[in-house]
Amino acid sequence: MIRLTISCNENTWVKEVLWENHKCIHFAAGGYEATIVPDVGANLIELKDTKINLSLLRSPNKKVDFKTFSERPQVYGIPVLFPPNRIEDGKLKVGEKEYELPINEVKNNNYIHGFVKNERWEIYRMEIKKEGTVEIEAVFDYNESHAFYKYFPNSFRFKLVYKLSKEGLKQTFTIINLSDEEIPVAIGYHTAFNVPFNEDSKKEDYRLIVSANRRYEQDGRNLPTGRIFELSDDEKKYHTDGICPFGYKIETHYALKEIDVKGRKLYGAIIEDTKKGLKLIYELGREYKYIVIWNDQGDKDYLCIEPQTWAINAPNLKLDKALTGFRTIAPKQSWSEVSRIFVEEK
């Protein structure tokens, strides 16, 4: 059911639609289409390249109802994580202030993936620009009225701008610290890509290239041990022709660096369809210093590439901040970073 339509032309538009009585924003520009679910983390659950009929993100299909999606949104689309990944025993310290977050990964006694991915965000702005681009701005205001405030008593505003154009999808994330205390810069995405994203290809046709620097060893609780390793010979393939990320389990954590891939500067990741000569490029801003690669046992049709501003469990690691990425925002100050997803053909 369409409730609202803003249209520039048949290729550039914004529509407000319903999914089981929940408002979604469906929009198009530059040969791409996307869908946002404001009621569940402003998650962008669908991204398509309509020029060559590619479905780039893992989206809830017709068999997945809204309730099922909302209970586990981290395996669909581009969910926002705050804080990203795991916090050991749910405990962290910022300055002299200690926080104890509720354990939601019981088997490992961790707090995982944060709460904002499940929260309702407000659509603040929907705009079609003169140059044929669309911008959707979503906002999440957090203060003492929120149920989670007893665990994290600091007010803030999160602002997420999705810009769709011929350059693909650009995301700009902003944190505004509205409290009187410093708060951590602890943002990540659990981006779930379809593999294959081209329905005429097979998973074995795909290769993953990542600008990985060094690997952070993880223990049985999936927390860093504090040991950091140079890439193995197999991992070095991430810098050249890539690896096929299926058929075996992957759950690895890396620091990032800029690399050269056949003449291209890359900071992020590429999923390449070698059969069709297509590259899905995930370009990251430099504030996303770490990444997790997760393939859900290696037997599914999706792959999660998870950029994050700090290393897993950063506040509790006995390492220099230069190695953990731990940093804060002062009261009334802000932080912002971008990322981009787009497709290239040979």
pLDDT in tens, 233-286: 999 999 999 999 999 999 999 999 999 998 999 999 999 999 999 999 999 999
pLDDT beneath 70: ranges in the chain = 1-5
Give the span between the Cα atoms of 266 and 339, in whole angstroms. 12
280-321 per-position pLDDT tens digit: 999 999 999 999 999 999 999 999 999 999 999 999 999 999
pLDDT at residue 150, rounded to an integer: 97
| Length of the chain, in residues | 346
CA dist 330 and 299 (Å) reads: 44
3-state helix/strand/coil string of 289-320: CEEEEECHHHCCCEEEEEEECCCCCHHHCCCC
The whole-number pLDDT of residue 61 equals: 80
What does the domain layout of the chain look like in residue ranges?
2-345
DSSP string of 264-280, one letter each residue? EEESEEEEEETTTTEEE
What is the model's pLDDT at position 131? Answer: 85
CB 272 within 8 A of CB 206: yes
Query: What is the structure's pLDDT at 4?
Result: 61
Closest CA to 168 of 345, 41, 335, 309: 345
Q: Cβ of 33: how many Cβ atoms within 10 Å?
A: 18
Q: If you classify domain 2-345 with CATH, what class do you get?
A: mainly beta
Tokens representing 339?
Answer: 């990322």
Cα torsion 290, 77, 86, 139: sign: positive
What is residue 194's predicted lDDT score, i.e. its pLDDT? 97
